[in-house]
Structure 1
Amino acid sequence: MEDTKTLNALALALISTPRANLQELAKAAGISKATLYRMFRTREELIARLSQRAMAAIAGVLESAGLETAPPEEALRRLIEKHLEHRELTIFLWYYWKDAPIDTAAAESWDAAMDAFFLRGQQMGVFRIDISAQALTEVLICTIGGLIDAERRGRVARLGQAAAIESIFLDGAAVRPR
């Protein structure tokens, strides 16, 4: 039986100890080796399941953010908050996107939705137009991933992270009067 808490712990264990075997991952996640082997027979199965779970969570993040309809500032806030709610899966994807068996169509759909959101915000005069929508997409996810990782390493507190990401991002992406 897969539960969110266990999968999140396994995602963090993979990030913290990327070369660990299943026994070491079980220990790091606080579960027995037998429990982990019942859930996943191989490391590849574990990574595939975490990838599938992470992509589903991220699809939910996009859906709930209102990227196509909400005012851009509000959608951005929701986008950041929802990614942080799924911090373990977000950071798992951040670390494993090259190695994980990620559904290419889903990843391209995420990119397209984010790019369209930033383009809409640019057209509405909310985001700078001298930085491409694609670059804004990459900057946002790198900022979110970077702060989640910094928290994991004990460099940044969790409290106030969403507001910090929004402020950092908007102060660099907002249209400025000349």
Structure 2
Amino acid sequence: MDLSAANEKLLKALAIAMVDHPAGTFKDIAEAAGVSKATLNRFCGTRNNLIEMLFNYGSVVINQVMENANLQEAPPLEALQRLIESHLTHRELLAFLAFHWRPDSLDECASGSRWQPYSDALDNFFLRGQHKGVFRIDISAQVLTEMFASIIYGFVDAERRGRVARVGMATQVMQFFLQGATSR
């Protein structure tokens, strides 16, 4: 998916508009994104096309996030920090993906296979970190992947709802993921 900077900006605005106005009309979504209904119609045509465009864009962005983190070669803690920061750079899209996630979204028949490389890459990253003694071995790499994704998406949603400040969020995610909620 080759996108101009203007299209990327519009997709981010539309992602948030879709989250903030889930039952909104096409006109409501267009206005929330700062464009006219005619522009939105030319851009995607239908709500279903818009959702599919956002999922496709999400897939491209998540792949870029994974690549930028250098999960296969960078020291695990450095890669984890980059992974967190890169995810938070795309918080609008994460909010959309979290809002539109359904249990069948991982079903290959429902286009869920687009997210499998993401899960596989994280599983392999956490397994590599376990082998290097960085991450706990009493929790499987798959569970670490699920916990990481839940924390990232949870923080993004909490920020959107005004419960968590943006400032210092990457540090908070890193600390909580690595240390949990126990008092030391």
TM-score (normalizing by structure 1)? 0.91
Is contact 1:52–1:102 with CA below 8 Å preserved after alignment?
A: no
Deviates more, 1:53-62 or 1:3-12: 3-12
Offset, 1:103 = 4.2
Q: Deviations over 1:30-85 (max 9, x none)?
A: 21111111111100000000110111000000111011101110000000000011
Q: Tell me, which stretches of 5 or more residues in structure 2 are unaligned? A: none
Structure 1 portions without partners, runs of 5+: 174-178
1:106 aligns with 2:110: no
Once the two structures are TM-superposed, the CA of residue 8 in structure 1 deviates from its matched residue by: 0.7
Aligned residue for 1:127, secondary structure, equals coil
CA distance in 1, matches of 2:159, 2:112: 29
Partner of 1:26: 30
Deviation of the 1:97 alpha carbon:
3.0
The residue number in structure 2 matching 1:80 is: 84
Aligned pairs for 1:116-135 within 5 A: 116-135=124-143
Write the letter of the residue equivalent to 1:92: F
User: What is the CA deviation profile of residues 90-144 of structure 1, one whole-angstrom value per residue up to 9, with x for unaligned ones?
Assistant: 2211222337797433311111110010011111111111111111111111111
- Specify the code of the residue in structure 2 equivalent to 1:90: L
The aligned counterpart of 1:68 is 72
**1:170: Cα distance to partner?**
0.7
Q: Which runs of 4+ in 1 moved over 4 A?
A: 99-103
- SS of equivalent residue, structure 2 residue 180: helix
The CA distance in 1 between the partners of 2:82 and 2:114, in whole Å, is 20
Structure 2 residue identity aligned to 1:24? D
What is the 5 A alignment of 1:8-19? 8-19=12-23
Alignment correspondent of 2:52? 48
**Number of residue-to-residue matches in the alignment:** 174
What is the Cα-based RMSD across aligned positions, in Å?
Answer: 2.0
Residue 164 of structure 1 aligns with which residue? 172
Instruction: Supply the distance in 1 between the matched residues of 2:77 and 2:111 (Cα, whole angstroms).
Output: 29
Q: Which residue of 2 aligns with 1:176?
A: none
Cα distance change on mapping 1:62 and 1:102 into 2, 3 Å: farther
State the distance in 2 between where 1:103 and 1:115 align. Answer: 20
Distance in 1, Cα, partners of 2:129 & 2:46? 44
